Amino acid sequence: MCLVEIPAQLAAELTAHLQDTKSVVKEFVYCLLIRGGDMAPTLYYLPPSPPCRSILLLAKLLDLELDLKVINILEGEQMKPEFVELNPQHCVPTMNDDGLVLWESRAILAYMAAAFGKDDSLYPKDIRIRALVDQRLMFDLGTLYQRMAEYYFPTMFMGAPFDESKKAKLSEALGWFDAILKGRNYAAADQFTIADLTLLVTLSQIDAFGFDLLPYARIKQWYRRCKNYLEPYDYEDINGSQALVLAQMLRSKIEECSCLYAQDRNSTAAQTSSEVVLNASMARHAKNGCYLIFIVGTKEEIVTFRFKIVQLRPHNVDA
């Protein structure tokens, strides 16, 4: 609790003089003046992760300082005892705000907007409007983001072939979202909300992956509108550039897998079975919680592989 009430104008002037001050001192004074003595919330995150990007964007919108700690899940840092004690599910993003530990990005978004918003515009208090915001958050979590993950992540993380049925499911979800936007400038309210934020991050990743958005006119208009709204808040640095990082990972995996081939061994046995070799990337992700069942067959002297994903994504990546 802050012992002295400091006028907002004076606080702003004092904060402006801290630009050349050591970061530790700057953080202390920031917490004293702006947050009444409370330390900045700690965010455990990985920059390219779409759910993490949504948290960073909202922090910019709220002008909220975060104590950022990178957790490299590809190196297994999420399994360190101190992090597992903090979050038994050991996933990112995870936020610790003075002992309140939250994971699941959309829950974090709702908390941040309610706790640190200057007003309720990002997460309206009106019960009917908030219900729409919550519904859109769940639509992103359970449908749009999920279907993007089901289509792209098996290829990006494990080199599985693209599944056209999953592509059709993603197209279906985009069609539903396009219908939701009929007669609306934003997803849930008359203004930009956290529903738009999480949907925008998902849509930007779908776009970066190269999915054709041409059939979805309302989505394209909404997409442009939301990007323009967030442009002053480091949108490209936080989200746009990191979406391209994942897109490059996908392209690299496609190129890597295109070099894999097998030749017919001119024997009856080769027609019914073939040796499967997991590359280093596949083995690493299997170890982290992505398990594969390989169904192998041969046709026209080319060994074909079908992959059944038992667990879609590493269990340490939040949705």
Taking only the tens place, the pLDDT of each residue in 212-256 is 999 999 999 999 999 999 999 999 999 999 999 999 999 999 998
In this structure, are residues 41 and 66 in contact, taking their beta carbons and an 8 Å threshold? yes
Give pLDDT, residue 272: 40
CB-based contact 173:144 (threshold 8 Å) = yes
- Identify the pLDDT of residue 240: 98
Longest dimension (CA), the chain: 85
SS3 18: coil
Query: What is residue 34's three-state secondary structure?
Result: helix
What CA–CA distances, in Å, run from 92 to 45, 125, 141? 5, 28, 15
Strands 67-70 and 42-45: parallel
Kindly give, in sequence order, each residue whose CB lies less than 8 Å from that of residue 190, ignoring residues fewer than 6 positions away: none
Per the document, the length of the chain is 319
274 is catalytic: no
Is the C-alpha dihedral spanning 226, 229, 235, 236 positive or negative? positive
Q: What local confidence, expressed as pLDDT, does residue 318 receive?
A: 67
161 in any annotated domain: yes
Q: Say if 59 falls within a structural domain.
A: yes
CATH value at residue 111: 1.20.1050.10
Residue 144 lies in a domain: yes
Q: For 237, which DSSP code?
A: I
Alpha carbon separation from 307 to 68, 254, 281, 314 (Å, rounded): 37, 15, 15, 16
174 domain residue, yes or no: yes
Residue 288 covered by a domain: no
Model pLDDT, residue 96: 98
DSSP-assigned letter for residue 298: E
What range defines the domain where residue 128 resides? Answer: 42-251
**Cis previous bond, 93, omega within 30:** yes
- pLDDT of amino acid 238: 99
Give tens-digit pLDDT for 78-105: 999 999 999 999 999 999 999 999 999 9
Please list the residues that pair with 292 across neighbouring strands: 309
289 inside domain: no
Question: How many angstroms separate the CA atoms of 165 and 168, rounded?
Answer: 5
**Which of 49, 54, 204, 274 is an active site residue?**
49
d(CA 31, CA 142): 36
Q: Is residue 22 part of a domain?
A: no
Cα-Cα end-to-end distance for the chain: 34
- Residue 316, pLDDT score: 56
pLDDT computed for residue 39 by the predictor: 87
Residue 92 lies in a domain: yes
Phi, psi dihedrals of residue 194, rounded to the nearest 5°: -65, -20
3-state class of 67 per DSSP? strand
Q: Which residues of the chain have pLDDT under 70?
A: 1-38, 259-319
Q: How far apart are CA 43 and CA 8, in angstroms?
A: 27
**What does the pLDDT read at residue 309?**
36
Q: Which of 252, 247, 301 is nearest to 281 (CA)?
A: 252
| Helix locations, the chain, DSSP H | 8-16, 23-34, 50-62, 81-86, 105-116, 127-139, 145-158, 164-180, 194-208, 217-230, 235, 241-258, 280-287
- Domain count of the fold of the chain: 1
| Tokens 């859109």 belong to residue | 136
